[in-house]
């Protein structure tokens, strides 16, 4: 442990008032508002000792280790003198009290042999209960409604209703609410090269293609001879008694198109995301579009057994208000997650907003299944998209493009533009495929976290969009 230097220099400083709270030093440095005047130094992992030596040699800083002040770290920081520092062993970070020009002279250039990764001014922070820190508005703590008289409650309700009414009249429907959302909406109007859905989810910017990733789409099957999929790896299985995998409906071909369609389709625009993924087609819905739990469970079993990182299920069965979720599907989904398979399902199309919002359907309402809501090109919620109304499970986890979505369709039609949470789901599945390729160790719940973390937060209720608009990068 380094010894403390002679502190005669610091006595001059104390004449100016409490150390660290003056607004300018003799050198003219102006401490940014909301900072203490001290600095945080981040050391490169494994190079902490070299970093401490650097600070000692070049800045004359005497460092004390957290090991030596374990009892009263807050006191240690408060009593720290000029040209000294406190090193938090576990964090690899030191708090340093030194001249600003000293710390600024340290080269923080990110080269591999520099033990110092970053230097930042130490910020002042405040507790958040009811009072916002300096510079923001003061927000009063809420008064318990029991303390409010009836006339006061009526007044507040009336005031709130009047403000809402005025705001609704002034705000045009379909207006994006933030600069970021407006930028996305404006950019996606031209569908000559790439569908709007791929544009707003940043798919063209991704360096990945789903190479080596197995994506299972459980649906009405696939048009196995569609010209856009020549040469692709396609593994198939039918769980519909008496019917082959060949898609006699169209829905399955459309969903496979969105999740796994080609980078260069026969006809523009590009509509597919994971263009090098290995496609696993599980027919669980008949050519008439009907299916049952047993065929879907069989499809999930097959996908998990075959090491599919992602299962996309654009299907659902309506549930009633207050209804819970299936224990069977919840446990199956949990076991799938543990085995490295993420199941993504459509929230359902039973709603008719604004007058009717229906709850997320089965099996997307299972907590361990990622439920997807549908957005339009203005990043507003699709009128049919279900919401997270029920208290037992039933949440919408994420949202994706689901209105006027162009994708592949069985021959001879080749392409079709339709809407639904069924169309939003394979957007998430395809993007999950890109993340799975980019992060080979990230599967199951960890892959779920990545998708949610990277989603673009919207100004819409999380009841309808979960963590927001899925993003490929």
Partner 1 sequence: MEKASISILLDDKHVHRIHEVAKEAKIAGMDVHQILETSGVLTGLVDRSEIARLRKISGVASVEEEKQFQIAPPESDVQ
- Using CB under 8 A as the binding criterion, the count of chain residues that bind partner 1 stands at 39
Q: Say which DSSP state 404 is in.
A: S
- Which of 420, 426, 466, 468 contacts partner 1 by CB under 8 A? 420
If binding is defined by CB under 8 A, does position 364 make contact with partner 1? no
> At its nearest, how many Å lie between partner 1 and the CB of residue 390?
16
Using the rule CB under 8 A, is 293 a contact of partner 1?
yes
For the bound state, the minimum distance from the C-beta of residue 374 to partner 1, rounded and expressed in Å, comes to 9
Question: Which region, judged by CB under 8 A, interacts with partner 1, from 25-33, 37-45, 209-217, 297-305?
Answer: 297-305
CB nearer to partner 1: pick between 38 and 249: 249
Give the list of residues 6+ apart from residue 136 with CB closer than 8 angstroms, or none.
none
Tell me if 449 contacts partner 1 by CB under 8 A: no
Q: Are strands 116-123 and 35-43 parallel, antiparallel or unpaired?
A: antiparallel
* Segment lying near partner 1 (by CB under 8 A), choices 23-31, 146-154, 183-191, 288-296: 288-296
For partner 1, the closer of residues 46 and 242 by Cβ is 242
State which residue, 392 or 459, has the beta carbon closest to partner 1. 392
To partner 1, the closest distance from the beta carbon of 450 in angstroms equals 24
Nearer to partner 1, 209 or 220 (CB): 220
Site string for partner 1, 307-346 (x = CB under 8 A): -------xxxx--------xxx--xx--xx--x-------
Nearest Cα to 315, choosing from 259, 357, 260, 372? 372
> Nearest approach, Cβ of 265 to partner 1 (angstroms)?
20
DSSP state of 203: G
Task: Using the Cα atoms of residue 301, residue 335, residue 443 and residue 379 in order, give the sign of their dihedral.
Answer: positive
The DSSP-derived string for 299-350 is HHHHHHHTT-SEEEE---B---TT----HHHHHHHHHHHHTT-EEEEE--S-
Report the C-alpha gap between 198 and 423 in whole angstroms. Answer: 12
Residues 208-237, one symbol each (x = binds partner 1 by CB under 8 A, - = not), give ------------x-----------------
The stretch near partner 1 (CB under 8 A) out of 6-14, 107-115, 190-198, 290-298 is: 290-298
| Closest by Cα among 130, 148, 132 to 140 | 130
Dist CA 218 CA 206 (whole Å): 25
CB of 384 to partner 1, least distance (A): 5
CA distance 466 to 380: 13
Give residues with Cβ within 8 angstroms of 18, minimum separation 6. Answer: none
Binding of residue 249 to partner 1 (CB under 8 A): yes
> Which 3 state secondary structure label does DSSP give 163?
helix
C-alpha distance from residue 308 to each of 217, 274, 350, 363 (Å):
10, 14, 29, 19
From candidates 19, 301, 353, 463, binder to partner 1 by CB under 8 A: 301
Contact 396, 464 (CB under 8 A): yes
Binders of partner 1 among residues 378 to 407 (CB under 8 A) are 384
The reply to whether 274 sits near partner 1 by the rule CB under 8 A is: no
Please enumerate in sequence order all residues whose Cβ is within 8 A of that of 343, keeping only pairs 6 or more positions apart, or say none. 300, 311, 313, 333, 336, 337, 368, 369, 370
Q: Are 250 and 285 in contact (CB under 8 A)?
A: no
Q: What is the closest distance, in whole angstroms, from the C-beta atom of residue 197 to partner 1 in the complex?
A: 15
> Which range, of 133-141, 301-309, 365-373, 435-443, touches partner 1 by CB under 8 A?
301-309
Which residues are tagged catalytic?
219, 251, 422
Q: Measured from the CB atom, is 82 or 249 closer to partner 1? A: 249
**Of positions 270, 283, 362, 406, contacts partner 1 by CB under 8 A:** 362
59/418 with CB nearer partner 1: 418
If the CB atoms of residues 298 and 452 are measured against partner 1, the closer one turns out to be 298
Does residue 437 contact residue 208 with C-beta atoms inside 8 Å?
yes
Residue from 202, 263, 218 nearest 427 by CA: 202
Q: Which is nearer to partner 1, 209 or 408 (CB)?
A: 408
Closest CA to 373 of 407, 361, 308: 361
Nearest to 432, CA basis, from 309, 335, 330:
309
- Is residue 84 at the binding interface for partner 1, with CB under 8 A as the rule? no
419 sits near partner 1 (criterion: CB under 8 A): yes
Q: Rule CB under 8 A: which residues touch partner 1?
A: 220, 249-251, 254, 285, 289-294, 296-298, 300-301, 304-305, 314-317, 326-328, 331-332, 335-336, 339, 349, 362, 384, 418-420, 422-423
């Amino acid at each position: 442990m380094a010894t403390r230097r002679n502190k005669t220099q610091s006595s001059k400083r104390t004449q100016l008032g409490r150390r660290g709270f003056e607004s300018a030093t003799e050198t003219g440095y102006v401490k940014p508002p909301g900072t203490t005047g001290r600095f945080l130094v981040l050391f490169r992992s494994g190079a902490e000792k070299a970093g401490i030596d650097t600070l000692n040699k070049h800045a004359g800083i005497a460092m004390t280790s957290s090991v030596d002040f374990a009892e009263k770290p807050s006191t240690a920081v408060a009593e720290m003198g000029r040209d000294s520092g406190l090193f938090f062993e576990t964090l690899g970070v030191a708090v340093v009290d030194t001249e600003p020009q000293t710390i600024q002279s340290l080269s923080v250039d990110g080269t591999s042999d520099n033990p110092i990764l970053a230097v930042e001014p130490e910020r002042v922070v405040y507790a958040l209960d009811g009072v916002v820190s300096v510079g923001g508005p003061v927000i009063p703590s809420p008064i318990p409604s029991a303390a409010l008289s009836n006339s006061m409650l009526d007044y507040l309700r009336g005031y709130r209703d009047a403000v809402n009414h005025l705001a609704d009249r002034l705000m045009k429907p379909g207006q994006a609410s933030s600069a970021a959302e407006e930028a996305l909406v404006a950019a996606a109007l031209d569908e000559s090269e790439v569908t709007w859905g791929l544009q707003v989810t940043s798919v063209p910017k991704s360096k990945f293609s789903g190479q080596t990733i197995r994506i299972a789409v459980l649906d009405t099957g696939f048009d196995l001879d569609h010209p856009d999929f020549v040469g692709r790896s396609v593994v198939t299985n039918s769980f519909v008694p008496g019917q082959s995998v060949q898609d006699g409906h169209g829905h399955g071909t459309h969903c496979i198109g969105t999740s796994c369609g080609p980078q260069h389709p026969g006809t523009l625009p590009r509509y597919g995301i994971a263009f090098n993924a290995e496609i696993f087609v599980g027919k669980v819905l008949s050519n008439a579009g009907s299916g049952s739990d047993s065929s879907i469970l069989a499809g999930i079993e097959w996908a998990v057994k075959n090491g599919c990182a992602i299962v996309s299920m654009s299907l659902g069965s309506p549930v009633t208000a207050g209804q819970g979720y299936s224990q069977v599907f919840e446990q199956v989904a949990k076991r799938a997650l543990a085995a490295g398979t993420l199941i993504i399902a459509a929230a359902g199309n039973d709603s008719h907003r604004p007058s009717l919002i229906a709850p997320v359907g089965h099996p997307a309402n299972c907590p361990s299944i990622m439920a997807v809501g549908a957005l339009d090109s203005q990043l507003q919620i699709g009128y049919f998209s279900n919401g997270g109304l029920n208290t037992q499970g039933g949440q919408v986890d994420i949202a994706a493009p689901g209105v006027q979505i162009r994708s592949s369709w069985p021959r001879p039609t080749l392409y079709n533009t339709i809407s639904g949470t069924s169309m939003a789901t394979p957007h998430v599945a395809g993007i999950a495929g890109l993340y799975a390729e980019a992060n080979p160790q990230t599967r199951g719940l960890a892959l779920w976290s990545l998708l949610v973390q990277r989603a673009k937060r919207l100004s819409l209720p999380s009841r309808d969009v979960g963590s927001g608009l899925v993003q490929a990068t």
